[in-house]
Amino acid sequence: MSLPSPHQIIAPAGWARPRGYSNLVAATGRQLYLAGQIGWNAKQEIVADDIVGQSRQALHNIVTLLEAAGARPEHVVRLTWYVTDRAAYVSAGAALGQAYRDVMGKHFPAMSAVQVVALIEPRAVVEIEATAVVP
């Protein structure tokens, strides 16, 4: 369970509220830049072949890195998702949302998702970068 964001979520007047992310997060503090995380465990073994399983593991990896720096999921201000299959990402939306909430809680930073041709690890179908700010 995550705590409320210590950062300011800003939404322009009249804009519809985004689902599962924020358009703008203002933060002050110690900045953490996490390398892209894929769906492998600490032994660099891919844990699943599907986007949901790999995303869940990548998010767990992000939380583990945050904890090593004394941070928590609610300190994340931005995530960038790189996916190899847009259709798989879109069709798994509900399951991805549940996996996200299971690992990150109900904290929704600024996010972008980009389809790429491939990732460096041949079996990887998703890579997630994170930026966090610890107040």
Phi and psi at 25, nearest 5°, equal -130, 125
DSSP string for 13-47: TTPPPPSSSBS-EE--SEEEEEEEE-SB-TTS-B-
**Predicted structure pTM score:** 0.92
Q: What is the pLDDT of residues 69-89, one digit of tens each?
A: 999 999 999 999 999 999 999
First-to-last alpha carbon distance for the chain, in angstroms, is 19
pLDDT at 2: 61
Q: What is the pLDDT of residues 86-109, one digit of tens each?
A: 999 999 999 999 999 999 999 999
Report whether CATH 3.30.70.360 matches the domain 8-134.
no
Domain ranges of the chain: 8-134
pLDDT at 119: 98
